[in-house]
Structure 1
Amino acid sequence: MLCALCFLFTFITRFTWPPLISVVVPALGMTMGQAGAFMSAFYLGYLITQIPAGVLADRYGARVILSLSLLIEGTATMTLSLIDSYELGFNLRILAGFGAGAVFASCSRALVEWFPPKEQGLAFGLLMAAPSGGILITNVLVPHLNQSLGWHGAFLAVGSLTFTAGVLILLLMKSNCTYNEKIGDVSEGLRLIFGNRDLMLTAATGFFLMWLQLGTATWANAYIKSLGFSISQAGQVMAWYGLGGVVAPLVSGIMSDRLDCRKPLVLAALVAVIPTTILFGQQTSFSMLCIVGLAAGFMSYIVNPQLTIMISQFAGMKWAATANGVSNFLFQLASLLSPWFIGLVIDSTGIFDYVWWILAMGPVVSILFILGVREKSVIQLGMGCKY
């Protein structure tokens, strides 16, 4: 639960921005491209720490790294309440992402320690409910914070909560392994990871899925508001989207624990999310936005725990955090590019009509990569911890 809480707060801080775009953009005189770049800035910092954090987690464990990550992220988000220019906000978003970048690999390592392979589906399902849980919570909470405290107060409140979570992780988290600084040469692990064809294909699958997920999470609020709905109503729609995304990894995790393989579940979800995304972008009524948004969130996030488990199993216990740091680095390149690119499309066309088709191309390409994965080619290394 502490891992899930830690990962959840990284998404609460990053997704505090989309509900506030319509308020902060005119206040700071920003363009939509710059608004998208604010989300991309988070992922610029996020990318920097992925691989180093994975290596450190494999050497020293997750607790201190996770705590420090949340403390940095919380401080940067609190400071966003003081910005008066795009440039300062951009730099603070990079710092917040820098703090958040260590979380995913460390949490993945902790779950591989604590749960045997046959129980990892539900454990990772709970962890991977965090991305959509962050969407759900921010779209319920942030409009109210904005209404009562203003956008400055919203950033301050979210940052303070994240900082507090970092303190709790430091005090309460335990490990199930004894770590040895001499587990092996880092280059050995990186050669194993980058040389594993199936691991790299799985990471590429995640890249193109993330193109869809982060593009939607960044721009759906602005799209809904462009239809004439309020910030609060847009938040309600995205709360339904987030709810679907919370339920999906849990269902997916339970299902996969009962199956011998995870690839068919990944394929089915990728096929289903393509028309669902396009359908969401064609809705104009509030009720249908909520209904289709729920379905789109569910279909979008079924795959997440399966990709993480597959990557962890390909790498084995010894290099689980490093492998997830590498793969998440590749995933998040899409998070860096997608919000910015979609913002440019909106600036150039003035409409959202093309956005959903561009986003839906992500899972189309993902299907091509996952088809080439041989799920049974698992490398079992360093499985030395007791479950």
Structure 2
Amino acid sequence: MKTTSAAIDAARETTAMTSAQAAPANRYRWVILLVAFAAWVMSFLDRLAWGNVGLDVSKELGSPLSQLGIFVTSFYCGYVASNFLMGFVTDRIGARLTLTCALVPLGVATFLFGNVTSVTTGLILQCVMGLAAGADYAACIKLLASWFDSNRRGLALGILTTGPSIGIAVSNAVYPAFLRTHQWHDLYYLLGAVTICIGVACCLFLRNAPREVTVQSKSQRPSIRALLANRDLRLLSIAGFGANWATWGFAFWSNALMIKGQHMSAADAGQISMVFGIGAVCAKPLVGWITDRMGGKRRPGIIISLAAFAILFLVFGQISGKTLFLCIAPFLGAAAFVYAPLMAAMAAELVGPAATGSTIGAMNAFWQLGSVISPTVAGLVYSQTNSFTATLATLAIGPAIGAVCMTRAREAKSL
């Protein structure tokens, strides 16, 4: 009896010690989320500056207006390549070091872009910026997958993935006002300095994972062959490609389509796009939280969001009038973005913490191809048909295929 009693007391003491150790980690994960969110938003603020200064830079460099697009192309060439490669690097060296080594060079390249004096130098710096910025997504997802369990991961990823929407809102609100009183060079100097500071904060405050997750992950090794052989990851990759096809095809063309196809004013089209974005920002954390309450089941939410996305596109193409567009826009915005944190969480749970970086990096590189191709296809469809409805129907094919793929995919057996 004494032995049994001693064993019980020892077990209780171990449990108490584990709980005591877990409490600081539970609190510190919100610091991790805050720093990762700042890094993610900052990378978007850096890349979005070009949209506000492109015309001024073009005049100063003496380059034709037609060359403005090649700066964006140069950035995304580096960005897509980095997404794929740096995901594997993240799993090898850890998310903390990856984010530090991404943000500091990104800040330096951004600062140096403020001194650019030739198109060639500008293209090289934009490519370097893309290479640096492409490392942050996989690293941020890996951090949150390690620090947040499946009952909280959806909310955390939902908050993180509002970063692009926040970046767009902040850049549109702040950059024009800043440029009214400062030169475009000053904007890049400021962004570069702030980015470097956040990179230093990543080094100081981030930790790769709580101790218990680090111990559990040591035996796992990421493998390209294993990722390609995983049927569920392949289906998730195709679904993400289709979803991004529709999301960014619409994002690039929405205002122009409403102005030309529905004869709206630029102000009305902008207001509808703003409501579209608000729906996305609100929905991501909410749906992430809901799936957490469902025991970490992501697949049903992904299927519903993609199916709703395709259907709402078809509805959006049939209606007319500002009021109806404003009524549908927040729901379309929610469906157009809410799948992102759910797909990231599902992928992380399929492979485990040690392979999260490589998995997310490779998948996001493939997903971005949909973002690159769809604006061109949507533009061609509209130019050939002059039809708002036909263009949206073309974009709706992506999430429709994605929803079908997800009905065949399986989630991790143990969350």
- Class of the TM-score when normalised by the shorter of the 2 chains: 0.7 to 0.9
Equivalent residue number for residue 67 of structure 1: 100
Q: Choose from 239, 251, 254 the match for 2:289.
A: 254
1: CA distance, partners of 2:192 / 2:278:
23
**Partner SS, residue 140 of structure 1:** helix
1:240 correspondence with 2:275: yes
Equivalent residue number for residue 335 of structure 2: 299
2: CA distance, partners of 1:238 / 1:17:
20
Deviation per CA, 1:102-137: give whole Å up to 9, x if none. 111111211122111122111111112222222322
Give 2:236's aligned amino acid.
Answer: T
Equivalent residue number for residue 226 of structure 2: 192
More helix by share: 2
1:374 correspondence with 2:410: yes
1:270 correspondence with 2:303: no
Equivalent residue number for residue 384 of structure 1: none
1: CA distance, partners of 2:353 / 2:180:
47
Give 1:103's aligned amino acid.
Answer: D
Change (3 A) 1:341 1:158: farther
1:100 correspondence with 2:136: no
Deviation per CA, 1:52-111: give whole Å up to 9, x if none. 322222232212211221223333344444557766554433222211111111112111
**Partner SS, residue 5 of structure 1:** helix
Change (3 A) 1:252 1:140: same
**Partner SS, residue 294 of structure 2:** coil
Change (3 A) 1:278 1:309: same
1: CA distance, partners of 2:365 / 2:374:
15
Deviation at 1:151, TM superposition (A): 5.4
Equivalent residue number for residue 363 of structure 2: 327
Deviation at 1:184, TM superposition (A): 6.5
2: CA distance, partners of 1:234 / 1:156:
33
Equivalent residue number for residue 166 of structure 1: 199
Change (3 A) 1:49 1:24: same
Change (3 A) 1:236 1:146: farther
1:175 correspondence with 2:177: no
Q: Higher relative contact order at CA 8 Å, sep ≥6: structure 1 or structure 2?
A: 1
**Partner SS, residue 65 of structure 2:** coil
> Greater CA radius of gyration, 1 or 2?
2
Kindly indicate whether the alpha-carbon contact (under 8 Å) linking 2:284 and 2:341 is maintained by their aligned counterparts in 1: yes
Deviation per CA, 1:292-338: give whole Å up to 9, x if none. 54333222111111101110111012212221122112212223333
Relative to structure 2, which stretch is displaced further, 293-302 or 170-179? 170-179
Relative to the length of structure 1, the TM-score reads 0.80
Deviation per CA, 1:230-278: give whole Å up to 9, x if none. 6x88766544333222211101111101114221211111122224345
Relative to the length of structure 2, the TM-score reads 0.75
Structure 2 portions without partners, runs of 5+:
1-33
Kindly indicate whether the alpha-carbon contact (under 8 Å) linking 1:36 and 1:343 is maintained by their aligned counterparts in 2: no
**Partner SS, residue 371 of structure 1:** helix
Kindly indicate whether the alpha-carbon contact (under 8 Å) linking 1:209 and 1:366 is maintained by their aligned counterparts in 2: yes
Kindly indicate whether the alpha-carbon contact (under 8 Å) linking 1:54 and 1:106 is maintained by their aligned counterparts in 2: yes
1:122 correspondence with 2:158: no
Kindly indicate whether the alpha-carbon contact (under 8 Å) linking 2:85 and 2:362 is maintained by their aligned counterparts in 1: no
1: CA distance, partners of 2:169 / 2:69:
20
Change (3 A) 1:344 1:256: same
Give 1:253's aligned amino acid.
Answer: G
Kindly indicate whether the alpha-carbon contact (under 8 Å) linking 2:152 and 2:292 is maintained by their aligned counterparts in 1: yes
Change (3 A) 1:66 1:285: farther
1: CA distance, partners of 2:326 / 2:53:
20
Change (3 A) 1:4 1:206: same
**Partner SS, residue 117 of structure 1:** coil
Deviation at 1:154, TM superposition (A): 4.8
1:214 correspondence with 2:219: no
Equivalent residue number for residue 144 of structure 1: 177
Change (3 A) 1:314 1:79: same
2: CA distance, partners of 1:10 / 1:89:
18
Relative to structure 2, which stretch is displaced further, 88-97 or 20-29? 20-29
**Partner SS, residue 408 of structure 2:** coil
Kindly indicate whether the alpha-carbon contact (under 8 Å) linking 1:6 and 1:103 is maintained by their aligned counterparts in 2: yes
Aligned length, in residue pairs? 373
2: CA distance, partners of 1:17 / 1:235:
20
Give 1:218's aligned amino acid.
Answer: F
Change (3 A) 1:102 1:184: farther
Q: Choose from 21, 44, 50 the match for 2:83.
A: 50
RMSD of aligned residue pairs (Cα, Å): 3.7
Structure 1 portions without partners, runs of 5+:
381-387
Relative to structure 2, which stretch is displaced further, 156-165 or 54-63? 156-165
Relative to structure 2, which stretch is displaced further, 121-130 or 212-221? 212-221
Relative to structure 2, which stretch is displaced further, 308-317 or 154-163? 154-163
Kindly indicate whether the alpha-carbon contact (under 8 Å) linking 2:249 and 2:374 is maintained by their aligned counterparts in 1: yes
Change (3 A) 1:372 1:272: same
1: CA distance, partners of 2:227 / 2:343:
15
1:317 correspondence with 2:335: no
